Amino acid sequence: MVTLIKLCEQTDFQEKICFRVLHPEDDKKSIVVIKGQNGFYAYENVCPHFSVQLDYKDGVFSTYKNKLIMCAHHSAMFDITTGECVDGPCKGHYLKAVPIDVKDSVVFLKR
């Protein structure tokens, strides 16, 4: 049986494409939910380079052309649709994807 846990709503993305939420199962972690051109993506907010958060200040992420998200620490660039680092010190490594579902404008963590 699949359990859905609410992460955020589409209205949380009015002026930005990334939204950070606490991990509902571990409050020491956070998740970055990204609104892409063709849907939503979610990853653990942990850079595979040094295992630190991607945002440069709380909940503020650098993105490029709605296609890439950049780690604030050493500028690794990740494809928002796959989580793959396409440039930077951890090139070829991936952000850890978080399974989600979107229903009625709400993004859920899928368990």
**Residues within the interface to ligand FES (CB under 6 A):** 47, 49-50, 52, 71, 73-74, 76, 88-90
Least Å from the CB of residue 73 to ligand FES: 4
Pick 5 or 86: Cβ nearer ligand FES: 86
Q: What is the dihedral of CA 22, 69, 37, 84, to 10 degrees?
A: -100
Consecutive H or E run containing 87:
strand 85-87
Residue recorded with tokens 């063709």: 38
Pick 43 or 108: Cβ nearer ligand FES: 43
Least Å from the CB of residue 64 to ligand FES: 15
Pick 77 or 107: Cβ nearer ligand FES: 77
Query: Within 13 Å and on the Cβ side, how many CA atoms surround 71?
Result: 29
Integer Cα distance of 24 and 28 in angstroms: 10
Pick 55 or 109: Cβ nearer ligand FES: 55
Least Å from the CB of residue 89 to ligand FES: 5
Least Å from the CB of residue 46 to ligand FES: 9
Query: Within 13 Å and on the Cβ side, how many CA atoms surround 102?
Result: 13
